[in-house]
Amino acid sequence: MALPTSTATISQTTPESQTELSALLGVSFANISLDFALTQLCDALEKQAGTNLFFVNSHCLNVSYEDLAYRQALARAPLLFPDGSGVAMGCSMNGEILRHNLNGTDLFPHLCKLAADKGKRVFLLGAKPGTPERVAEWATTSFPALQIAGTQHGYFSPDEEAGVIDAINASGADILLVAMGVPTQELWLDRVQPQLATKLNVAVGGLFDFYAGNVSRAPLWLRQRGLEWTWRLLQEPRRMWRRYIIGNPRFALRLRHEARTKAFIEALPGELANHTRRARLAWRARMQRFRHRFGLASLDSSKRATDITLGLAALVALAPVFLLVALAIKLDNPGPVFFCQTRAGRRGHPFQMWKFRSMVVNAEALRADLEGLNEMGDGVTFKIKADPRITRVGRFIRKYSIDELPQFFNVLGGSMSIVGPRPGLYSELTKYDLKQRLRLDLKPGLTSEWVVAGRNDLSFSQQAALDVLYRNQRTFWGDLKLMIKTVPALLSGQGAS
């Protein structure tokens, strides 16, 4: 009899000594000629252990993309053959040529002839009752020497499974064809194969329906153009619409994504594309992160030591100034000498910041009445050059930042540092954008980049930008330089209010 004509374009065949593999969507399959495929089937029939043969088409690859158990079953199959125009298209996108479309329907007559010639017995399992018997009738009519060991429909219960396996083994079958649909047939064979005495187990999908006459195949000219799926869709629209209308575009998009990913990887520099070099670069990156973190930890430790040393020295040296300022505040305006206010510290944690009082006692209560006079247009800070709440002594000590000197006590207590972003009010924190919040990563300080760069002449966004720059580039020597530059900046009084 005439065997069905293959529907795939076959490349020029060359002698094959080993299986050439191609891969799509993480699944590797044999990209081989029909002759070499038949040779592999012959070899499988001569082995002691059983061999599973599965087929993959675009629908199978879609299922394996989402079903891990099925993908693992495909990976464990010794033989995996390509099926359909979708696989051919995927190979083409990878710059390869599919040597032959080894679909089960076209391969079945070849397998029947092979079994007949070698005297091997075939068992048909799957599909609806009566269908395996009609397939057996077609096979024995087409190949009179073929021995059908037995048939069994696929609608058996889990309790009946052991009996079905026993019947297959007792039949003396060498070849088992299983038609249960994807992925049920592959998962079943992957699980029960150690219990089977057969040599070759083939998952054949809808093959039985074709050869039993339940479903007609597409005309040859349609198959040769890779459009057999349209015929299947027209015949069984309710069952096949999801597989083809949704599945085909999804498969094409996945192939496109995979091709782009491969192209991206191939375009990477050799240092990244090579596994050993990638590992070396990763190790170097980890070491750099360690050095960076160790450097920051060392900087924080040395910074704390500096804060304690200089803070103590400053409080001792400035003790006479503290007494004079305290006396002047008392004589100028009745009330406490010091002013305590809750500010946002590192990571936004609250702390009590100390200052010499430079305003009237009820200054905080009067602020609401003065909001309309705010001269800062940044929407965050509040400043008025001629603030009526400031006392005469307060105006002097604010001009030269003398009012900030009690913050050396905060430095000794650890809530502040000598160098760092100036501590903000909680009412201002809610107005920070994401980048400005980075200034909260550090302990607040007595002086900062923007204190020596213009103080209140700068907008809050400019102040915050300088604080973030300091956060990213801080060093011990940079802190020392800022301390030295702070002295003339404070003595000049520029930008103070």
Q: What is the pLDDT of residues 73-116, one digit of tens each?
A: 999 999 999 998 889 989 988 889 999 999 888 899 999 999 99
pLDDT band at residue 2 under the 50/70/90 scheme: very low
What's the CA gap between 424 and 401, in Å, rounded?
A: 17
Q: Out of 118-122, 230-234, 315-319, 395-399, pick the least confident.
A: 230-234
Residues 72 and 141 reside in one and the same domain:
yes
On whether residue 16 sits in a domain, the answer given is: no
Residues 207 and 337 reside in one and the same domain:
no
The answer to whether the beta carbons of residues 71 and 26 sit under 8 Å apart is yes
pLDDT band at residue 146 under the 50/70/90 scheme: very high
Residues 244 and 359 reside in one and the same domain:
no
pLDDT at position 263, please? 81
What's the CA gap between 229 and 218, in Å, rounded?
A: 8
Q: Give the number of domains in the chain.
A: 2
pLDDT at position 62, please? 93
What's the CA gap between 78 and 189, in Å, rounded?
A: 12
pTM of the full structure = 0.53
Residues 364 and 432 reside in one and the same domain:
yes
Residues 43 and 180 reside in one and the same domain:
yes
pLDDT one-digit tens code per residue, 207-246: 898 899 888 776 776 666 666 767 666 777 777 777 778 8
On whether residue 211 sits in a domain, the answer given is: yes
What's the CA gap between 106 and 300, in Å, rounded?
A: 74
On whether residue 273 sits in a domain, the answer given is: no
pLDDT at position 12, please? 42
CA R_g for the chain: 41
Residues 424 and 360 reside in one and the same domain:
yes
Full domain range(s) for residue 79: 21-264
pLDDT band at residue 490 under the 50/70/90 scheme: confident
On whether residue 470 sits in a domain, the answer given is: yes
CA distances from 426 to 135, 300, 404 (A): 82, 25, 19
Please compute the mean of the pLDDT values over residues 266-291 and round it to a whole number: 74
What's the CA gap between 253 and 474, in Å, rounded?
A: 48
45: tokens are: 């029939």
pLDDT band at residue 375 under the 50/70/90 scheme: low
Q: Where are the beta strands (DSSP E) in 127-185?
A: 147-152, 175-179
Burial of 147 per CB tally in 10 Å (0-12, 13-18, 19+): middle
Beta bridge partners of 178: 125, 203
130: tokens are: 């009566």
Residues 221 and 343 reside in one and the same domain:
no
What's the CA gap between 417 and 408, in Å, rounded?
A: 8
On whether residue 286 sits in a domain, the answer given is: no
Residues in CB range of 167: below 8 A, 6 or more apart: 150, 152
The answer to whether the beta carbons of residues 440 and 348 sit under 8 Å apart is yes
On whether residue 482 sits in a domain, the answer given is: yes
pLDDT at position 27, please? 95
Residues 119 and 256 reside in one and the same domain:
yes
In this model, does residue 476 exceed pLDDT 50? yes
On whether residue 422 sits in a domain, the answer given is: yes
Please compute the mean of the pLDDT values over residues 186-208 and round it to a whole number: 95
The answer to whether the beta carbons of residues 479 and 303 sit under 8 Å apart is yes
What's the CA gap between 101 and 107, in Å, rounded?
A: 9
What's the CA gap between 471 and 73, in Å, rounded?
A: 54
pLDDT band at residue 3 under the 50/70/90 scheme: very low
pLDDT at position 437, please? 86
Residues 174 and 315 reside in one and the same domain:
no
Tell me if the bond preceding 183 is cis, omega within 30° of 0: yes
On whether residue 4 sits in a domain, the answer given is: no
Q: Out of 1-15, 138-152, 431-445, 451-465, pick the least confident.
A: 1-15
Residues 235 and 316 reside in one and the same domain:
no
Residues 246 and 151 reside in one and the same domain:
yes
In this model, does residue 455 exceed pLDDT 60? yes
Q: Which of 156-170, 247-261, 264-278 has the highest mean pLDDT?
A: 156-170
227: tokens are: 């459009």
pLDDT band at residue 13 under the 50/70/90 scheme: very low
Residues 45 and 193 reside in one and the same domain:
yes
What's the CA gap between 135 and 149, in Å, rounded?
A: 13
